[in-house]
Amino acid sequence: MRKFFAPASIGNFCVGFDSLGAAIAPLDGQLLGDVVYIEEAEQDTFKCVGEYAHKLPSNQEHNLAYQCLTHFRAHVKVDMPCVALTLDKRLPIGSGLGSSACSVVATFAALNAYSGTQLSQVQMIELMADFEAKVSGARHYDNITPCYLGGLQLTSEIVPDRAVALATDQNWHIVVAFPGFALNTAQARSVLPESLSLSQSVEFAQRLAAYTTLLQQQRFSDAVKLMQDAIAEPSRAPLIQGYADASVSLPELGAEVVSISGAGPTLFALCTSYEVAKRCQDWLSQHYVNENGFSHICKFDNQGTRELA
């Protein structure tokens, strides 16, 4: 049996709506993401297990991972031997941590490796984006690409090879906190503005261009100063209970940035030391996270999706 892990990710990463995403890994070594097991079988079988399996459809045909399997066999590798596929669902649904992307990426990575198809980076990302669109309604790459490749990625259809890896500061610690309740992605997108003014569009382009350039120049403190979300956060923040208090309290504890992870309700706080990150995590554990939630102090996961021993 072979097993493949895909890490959780932060879509938008504050300043890059629908175009910037980061894969994350808890400092304690915990695997924050989904795992797919694959082995040869007499006939194709699929099952979903794990902490959050009960949140997914009981009918396997409605499960994205199973749909990936049937699509791969029909359109990519018709003569692939039959497989037993198991999705270990470790990420909560509707968390803003790229849960659906995790399932899709881990499944396609497992199928590509098992069948020996050696699909290119672009082919893999496009396959994955097709299935992520089934959940979000459009081909958003900012969870798929970092989940697959790791690190902080500038990503879209118009980016060469769909991805440009960006430099990050080794001192950055990212505190993520899932409050314990889900936020429907479609609902989170429905509250977004339908259009931007010319001045808003120009400011967004300037901010993202300057931010990515400063990262590549390793001017990290200057880049952090540009991390503001004027596109999604003002509309989504009212949907997330406790977020307003966190956005005020965490900077007082030393956080450089507080923003919404993807569509929410998970938030992330960017800190420049472990000590500050621990203070923020402690506050979040007391004031933001309920008994069904969790928080982690993370670094960037620079490995992306990989086979586990």
Q: Is residue 97 marked as binding?
A: yes
Beta carbons of 267 and 283 less than 8 angstroms apart: no
Output DSSP code: residue 80. Answer: P
Q: Identify which of 112, 100, 88, 86 has the alpha carbon closest to the alpha carbon of residue 31.
A: 88
Residue length, the chain?
A: 309
Assign 3-state DSSP to the chain and report helix, strand, coil percentages, each to 5.
40, 20, 40
Instruction: Sort 217 into a burial class: Cβ within 10 Å, 0-12 / 13-18 / 19+.
Output: exposed
Q: Is residue 273 marked as binding?
A: no
252: Cβ–Cβ under 8 A, 6 or more apart, which residues?
none
Beta carbons of 265 and 254 less than 8 angstroms apart: no
Query: CA 213, CA 229: separation in Å to the nearest integer?
Result: 18
Q: Is residue 98 marked as binding?
A: yes
Q: Identify the bridge partners of residue 236 per DSSP, sorted by sequence position.
A: none
Please say whether the dihedral angle defined by the alpha carbons of residues 60, 65, 71 and 76, taken in this order, is positive or negative: negative
Q: Is residue 96 marked as binding?
A: yes
Please state, in angstroms and as integers, the Cα–Cα distance from residue 287 to each residue in 124, 179, 295, 296, following that order: 40, 9, 12, 15
Query: CA 247, CA 83: separation in Å to the nearest integer?
Result: 47
Residue that is written with structure tokens 């984006």 in the block = 129
Q: Is residue 50 marked as binding?
A: no
Q: Is residue 102 marked as binding?
A: yes
Q: Is residue 309 marked as binding?
A: no
Q: Is residue 242 marked as binding?
A: no
Q: Is residue 136 marked as binding?
A: no
Query: CA 29, CA 21: separation in Å to the nearest integer?
Result: 21
* Bind-site residues: 92-102
* Bind-site residues for ATP: 92-102
